[in-house]
Amino acid sequence: KAGVTQTPRYLIKTRGQQVTLSCSPISGHRSVSWYQQTPGQGLQFLFEYFSETQRNKGNFPGRFSGRQFSNSRSEMNVSTLELGDSALYLCASSSGTAGTEAFFGQGTRLTVV
Amino acid sequence: DQQVKQNSPSLSVQEGRISILNCDYTNSMFDYFLWYKKYPAEGPTFLISISSIKDKNEDGRFTVFLNKSAKHLSLHIVPSQPGDSAVYFCAASSGGYQKVTFGTGTKLQVIP
């Protein structure tokens, strides 16, 4: 069973640009969550999609958005990039059922210069 | 507002001894708790979980204890092995949804 795949693994962007990150969940999983990891802040929840609908949202500005496709693949978009957006972005997939754990991808390391 | 807190950023333990990682939470609505382990340059890996209806869950060398009245949980690793050296994240969720709130992590170093 293939794991969670995130692309690209590494990305360098300039301030003001926008970026799109992709996540392919484990086959059969309908829930995809996105997290931002920065040093000292742990994993900060961005949003969760389930069956193409955003079900939960964290406390991030509107520059951070996402979507989920009918095949459960998800994309995250960050517009007007700021230096502080440099982080490891992690995607996690799960069945979406209460009490089940999520499986994480290896993440996309975004550097904004 | 950090709803899940791991107050020890790091912990060093001798190989073979017990490692105890602690986690406190403030949201009484949390009803499911998880521990994840993370190596550098990898995504977190699920380790063990516990539902709020239990106070202990065991899986091999890993045991999680939950004290709801104190809003505290802990992860015990016995015996600790050098391969256990990683960052451990405590996480919690509520209401059956997948909005999981993570702590800031504790870096465990197991010394051979």
The per-residue pLDDT for B99 is 76
**Does residue A100 carry a pLDDT above 80?**
no
| pLDDT, tens digit, 9 for 90 and up, residues A57-94 | 889 999 999 999 999 999 999 999 999 999 999 999 98
The answer to whether the beta carbons of residues A10 and A107 sit under 8 Å apart is no
- A66 interfaces chain B, CB cutoff of 8 Å: no
- A25 interfaces chain B, CB cutoff of 8 Å: no
pLDDT tier at B97 (50, 70, 90 boundaries)?
Answer: low
Question: What mean pLDDT, rounded, does chain B reach?
Answer: 92
SS (H, E, C) chain A: CCCCEEECCEEEECCCCCEEEEEECCCCCCEEEEEEEECCCEEEEEEEEECCEEEEECCCCCCEEEEECCCCCEEEEECCCCHHHCEEEEEEEECCCCCCCCEECCCEEEEEC
The answer to whether the CB atoms of B100 and A45 lie below 8 A apart is yes
Mean pLDDT of B38-60: 92
- A50 interfaces chain B, CB cutoff of 8 Å: yes
